[in-house]
Amino acid sequence: MTAPEPTDERVPARLWDPERRLLLVGIVCLITVVATEAMAVSTVMPLVEDDLGDIFLYGWAFSAFYLGDLVGIVLGGRAADRVAPVVPLLIGLATFTAGLLVGGLAPSMAVLVLGRALQGLGAGVVPAVAYVCVGRGFPAELRPRVFAVMSTSWIVPSLLSPLLASAVATAFGWRWVFLGLVPITGAVVLLAVRALRGVGTPAPDHHEATPVGMALRLAGGTGLVLGGLTAEVPWLAVLLVLAGGVLVVPAFRALTPAGTLRAARGLPAAVLIRGVLTVAFFSADAFISLALTSVKGTTTLFAGMVLAASSLTWTVGSWVQARYIGPWGASALERLGGLALVTGLAGFALCLLPGVPLWCWFLASCVAGFGIGTAYSPLSVVTLAEARPGREGAATSALQMTDVLGVAVGTGVAGVVVAVGDRIDAARSATLTVLFLGSAAVGLGVVALSGRLERPHSG
C-alpha cells in the first residue's frame, strides 16, 4: 500500500502576520501624522489670519499645500520606482518637517504660505510611498483590507485633531500647533526606517527618469487655474484659466497612463474615475458647513458633527469593499458606491428645503460618506493589480495626483458657484442647491464609468 502524496496546503496570508505587522503599523503611523496635520492646521487657520493678517492670502494657505502635494506625489512615487522607498520617504518627511518649522515661525502670511507649500510637498510623498509599499509588501488578496486600515487611520485625527489643535492654540498660541507636530514627525521617521527597510527596489531595467519638469508644470498650471477661478475681473479669470489649461493638459497626459482621458479599460479608467469621484464628493463637502450655518442657522459644532458622520461611514464603506471586492468585483462596488454618493449629494439639496428636519443632514452625510468609502479603495486595488512590476510608483502616483486635482478643482469650481450666486444676489439656499445637485451630476460619472474598470474576458 502506497502512502498518500503530500498535499500543498498553504496557510492563508493574514494581515497581521509577523512578517507584515511592522510594515502595516509604519504605514498607519505615516498616514495618521499627515491626517493630523491636515485637520489641525485647518482648525487654527482663522487664528493665524487674525495674527498675521493678509486675508487675501488665506485661501492660498490651502492651495499652496495642494500644489506642493501634487509635486510630492509625482516625485515620491516615481522615486520609489528607482530606489528603495525609504529614501524618498525620508526626504519627504524632512521637507514636511521643514514646512512645519517655517509655518510655526512665520512672521507674515506670505511666509506661512511658503511653509504650507513645503508641508504639501513632503506630505505628498507619504501616500505615494505608502501605496508602493502596499503593492510590494502585501499579496493581492490582502490589499483591500490594507486600504481599509489606511482609511481607518483618518478617524482619530478627524475626531480629535480639531479639539486638540484648539486647546493647544488657546493655551500656547497657534504656532505650537505647527511646532508641536515636529517631534511627532521625528518619532514617525524612526519607526518608518525600521518598517520600510524590507521593501526592496525594482530591477534596474524598470527605472525611468523622474519627470520633475512635468510635475512643476502641472502644479504651476493648476495654480493658474485656481487663481483664475477666484479672480474677480472676468477677463483676467478667463486668461488665467486658459493659460493654466495649456500647462495642465499636456502635463496631465504625460503623468498618467495612456488612455486616461478617454477612460481606457483597466488602469487608465481607475485613474480617471478617482478624479471624478473626488470632484463630486469634495465640491459638496467643502460647503456643507456653510449651508448649515448660513441657511439652517446651526452652529459650527453641529456642522462639524455632520461632517464627522461622513468620515465614519467612509471607513465603514472601505471595510465593506474589503469584504466584498473578491466575490463582487471592483466594477460592482464602484457602481454601488457611486449610486450611494449621488443619493447622499442629492439629499443635501433636499435638506435645504424649508421644513426638512436637521437630522436628515446626518442621513445624507452618512450615505455620501458610505458611497465614497465604498468606491474609493477599489480604485487603489485595481491600480496595483494593473501596474507593471517595478512601476507601482508611477501608477499609484498618477492615481493620487488625479485624486488631489479632483479635490482642488472641485472645491475651486464650487467656490465660483457660491461667489457668482452672491454677486447676483441669489438666495444662498438656491445657490447651494445648484451646487449640491451639480456635485450629484458629477457623481453619476462614477456610475457611468464603473464598467471600464474590468477588461473584457477573452474567448
The rounded distance, in Å, linking the Cα atoms of 336 and 125 is 31
Residue 458 CB burial class (10 angstroms; 0-12, 13-18, ≥19): exposed
Contact 418, 290 (CB under 8 A): yes
Task: Count helices and strands (H / E) in the chain.
Answer: 17, 0
The rounded distance, in Å, linking the Cα atoms of 365 and 373 is 12
The whole-model pTM stands at 0.82
Contact 450, 331 (CB under 8 A): yes
Which residues are CB-neighbours of 151 under 8 A, at least 6 positions away? 314, 315, 318, 373, 376, 377
- Cell numbers 477661478 correspond to 229
Contact 446, 337 (CB under 8 A): yes
Residue 30 CB burial class (10 angstroms; 0-12, 13-18, ≥19): buried
Nearest Cα neighbor of 62 from 17, 133, 123, 20 is: 123
The rounded distance, in Å, linking the Cα atoms of 175 and 166 is 12
Q: What is the CATH number of domain 258-454?
A: 1.20.1250.20
One digit per residue, pLDDT tens: the chain, 459 residues? 444 545 445 556 676 777 777 888 888 888 888 888 887 887 777 788 778 877 667 767 777 888 888 888 888 888 877 878 888 888 999 999 999 999 999 999 889 989 999 999 998 888 888 888 888 878 888 888 888 888 888 777 877 777 788 788 888 888 998 999 899 888 888 888 888 776 766 655 555 666 778 888 888 888 888 888 777 788 888 899 899 989 989 988 988 888 999 989 989 999 999 999 999 998 888 788 888 888 888 876 788 788 888 888 998 999 999 888 888 999 999 999 999 999 999 999 999 999 899 999 999 999 999 999 999 989 988 888 888 877 777 888 888 889 888 888 888 888 788 878 888 888 888 989 999 999 999 999 999 999 998 766 544
Tell me how crowded residue 51 is: count the other CB atoms within 10 A of its CB. 14
What b/e readout covers 339-376, taking b as 16+ CB neighbours within 10 angstroms? bbbbbbbbbbbebbeeeeeeeebbebbbbbbbbbbbbb
Residue 449 CB burial class (10 angstroms; 0-12, 13-18, ≥19): buried
SS3 assignment, position 86: helix
Tell me how crowded residue 180 is: count the other CB atoms within 10 A of its CB. 16
Contact 121, 69 (CB under 8 A): yes
- Cell numbers 492670502 correspond to 57
User: What is the model's pLDDT at position 210?
Assistant: 64
Q: What is the CATH number of domain 16-198?
A: 1.20.1250.20
How big is the CA angle at 393 (ends 390 and 398), to the nearest 5 degrees? 130
User: What is the model's pLDDT at position 456?
Assistant: 60
The rounded distance, in Å, linking the Cα atoms of 337 and 274 is 12
Which residue type is seen at 361?
W
336-339: which pairs have CB atoms within 8 A and are 24 or more residues apart? 336/374, 336/375, 337/370, 337/371, 337/372, 337/373, 337/374, 337/375, 337/376, 337/378, 337/446, 338/277, 338/371, 338/375, 338/443, 338/444, 338/446, 338/447, 338/450, 339/371, 339/447
Question: Sign of torsion, CA 121 126 131 133?
Answer: positive
Contact 247, 224 (CB under 8 A): yes
C-alpha cell, 374: 465604498
